[in-house]
Structure formats: structure tokens, C-alpha cells
Amino acid sequence: MLGGMKSRYYHRKGLSLMTKTKPELLEEATKLKLEVTNKNTIAEINEAIKNAKKEKVEAVKEVVSHREATVAKAGKRSEKTLKETEEKIEKEERKEAGDTTPQSGEAAANKVKGPKPVTRPLIERRGKNYRKVAVLVDKATVYSLADAMELAVKTNPSKFDASVEIHVRMGVDPRQADQNVRATVSLPNGTGKTIRVAVFAPETDHAAAKKAGADVVGDDDFLKTLEKGEINFDILIATPQYMPKLGKYARLLGPKGLMPNPKSGSVATNVAKAVTEAKAGKVEYRVDKQAIVHLSIGKVSFGAAKLVENANAFFESLKSQKPNGLKGSYVITTSISTTQGPGIKVENIAG
């Protein structure tokens, strides 16, 4: 066993050593405590390393032979222990040589893989309703905004009144504070969703907030519902002097995007005006980590004309948020789609 092991070892080592550089060989020679220097040639260093390893293998062979001569029934000199020692030595040598080939028929059989799986195109993995409407969209065509909205209404594969979404890939770097695009826009025709607005303000503002259409209005009693983890609103509006009281609930409201923020208009002294704007369709948008802005601008039931009005309002707002120090394109691509429908490329409007 050791004879075959030694021949394979030298064959592999001979190949791997010839491909090493002189500094690598010197480093290996240092580990083996050989007296070679940079003045020696690569061939001389190779020969010295081979001889050192040969002596090491011979020494191991002599030890194993000695042990085989005095095999015991159990203990360190038993046949089982000696066999395990030989296998461990061979494994270490294969590891040192970088040999990862299977060493048994079972391992080789496990390595053999079956036929490469056939991956179907993405369109074939979609539902039949999606495939039916997807043929109406030409992937190579960049549509005008009006044509894209007409097509979006036609390519809604859902049975429900789906949302129409705009996706804008930006040329900004969201990691830069001056390029982190974030703003609000009032959509002329609303979003088509029922927005539940909560107001956290002094008692003097409660009547005006309720008259403006607020669904939840409160003071200290509102904080008690937050302590229970109850959230029955979509937008929270607070007055500046009441913001410190919400700091305790930042972990509850923050991840859900419900923490009032001056940039989104949810921190306001005139709570009645803020409630009216929120109810009328004022929405917040911001660029994500992938430098994309996503925004729902209405429902399929709105029709193309109303959707175009909402989209134009969004694009005008997006134009106004262009960073002054931006180099390069502000908007890279724009696309429109329904909730479960195919994407439709749109001409660059906000760029």
C-alpha cells in the first residue's frame, strides 16, 4: 500500500513543484529546514525538497514496517490502528498536493451527475393569463406615456382592480446624502386606495382634524394603543411639539414606514391641511438602495386619461428633485406595469 502511495505522491509532487515560483520553493524549503538560499537554482531547490520528502516518507515507511512487525491484538499497535494511521498519512499528503480526485468507487459514482436540467424560458413559467396579455407588449419598443397607459389597462391579467405602478431607474447614488431623492406629490386623481389617517396632536387640534377627515385622533390615549402594538392607520400625522413623545415607539413605527417625517409632510403645525392632502392622494416616494423609485399612481379602473394625469404630476415632482451636483443621466429607464402584468418601457420624461 505504501509503495503505490509513494509513487503517486512523487508523481503529483513533481508536477506541482515545477509550477511553483522560486520564492514559493524557498518558503517550502525553509519549512523543511533545508540549507538552501536564493543563490541556488530552481532545479537545485526542487531536488533538495524532493530528497527531504523522500527521506520523510522512508522514515514513515520504516516506522510503519516496524509496527507491522509487532502487531498487537489491540491498542496503538493493533492492525486497525496501523491501517488508520496509513490512511491519515495518505490523506494529508493528498491534501498537501492539492489532489481532490475520488479515492473510492463509491465516491466516483456519487460524483457522476445526471443530465443537465432544462431551464424553461421565464415567459413559459408564467401563468396562462399573463402569457395571453404579454404578447401585446413589444419588448423592443419604447412607448409614449399615453400609449403605455393604454397598453397597461389592456394588459392587466388580474381579476381584481390592479394598481398601475411606475418604476424609474435613477442615475443617482443613494449612499450620497445630496442624491438621496425623497419627496411627496399630490396625485390629481388620487391613488384609488382608502387611506386611514391618524392624528397625534393636542386636544385643541382634534376638532379640526376630525372635520378634515382623520380616522383616528388622539393624545395620551393614542399612545396607549401604540403600547399595545395596535396600528389601525396608514399615515400618522403629528405636530412638532408632540414628536418627542413618539420617540419611544420608533421601533414599532419606523420599520412600517409610519414614523412622521417633515420631508413627507406628516409633521405639520396645520394638521387639518395635512389630513386633507393625505386623503386627497398625497403620496411619498423615495429612491431605494438599488437606485430605483417605485410608485403606485392609481388603479386600472381609472382609465388611461386619469392615469396619464397622475403620472405627469409624479414626473414633474421627480424633475424638481434632481440633485444640483449630479454628473451624468438623472433618469436611466422608465417602465410601467400593473400589479401582476408585464412591464412596458416608457420614453424618458423626467430626465
pLDDT tens column, 5-61: 444 444 444 444 345 787 887 888 788 777 777 778 888 888 888 888 777 777 666
Residues 343 and 302 in one domain: yes
Q: Clarify whether residues 174 and 295 are in a common domain.
A: yes
Q: Tell me, yes or no, whether 276 and 287 share the same domain.
A: no
Final residue of a structural domain among 111, 133, 166: 111
To the nearest whole number, what is the mean pLDDT of the chain? 81
Structural domain harbouring 339: 122-191+283-351
Whether residues 185 and 299 fall in one domain = yes
For the segment 230-276, what is each residue's pLDDT rounded down to a tens digit? 888 888 999 999 888 888 888 888 888 888 888 778 888 888 888 88
* Number of domains into which the chain is organized: 3
Burial class (CB in 10 A: 0-12, 13-18, 19+), 235: buried
Cα distance between residue 321 and residue 263, in whole Å:
12
Which amino acid belongs to residue 303?
A: G
178-201 average pLDDT score? 87
Q: Which of 111, 145, 161 is the last residue of a domain?
A: 111
Asked whether residue 326 is assigned to any structural domain, the reply reads yes
**Three-state DSSP class for residue 137:** coil
7 lies in the same domain as 103: yes
Structure confidence at residue 293 (pLDDT): 93
Pair 179, 297 in one domain: yes
**Residues 345 and 250 grouped into a single domain:** no
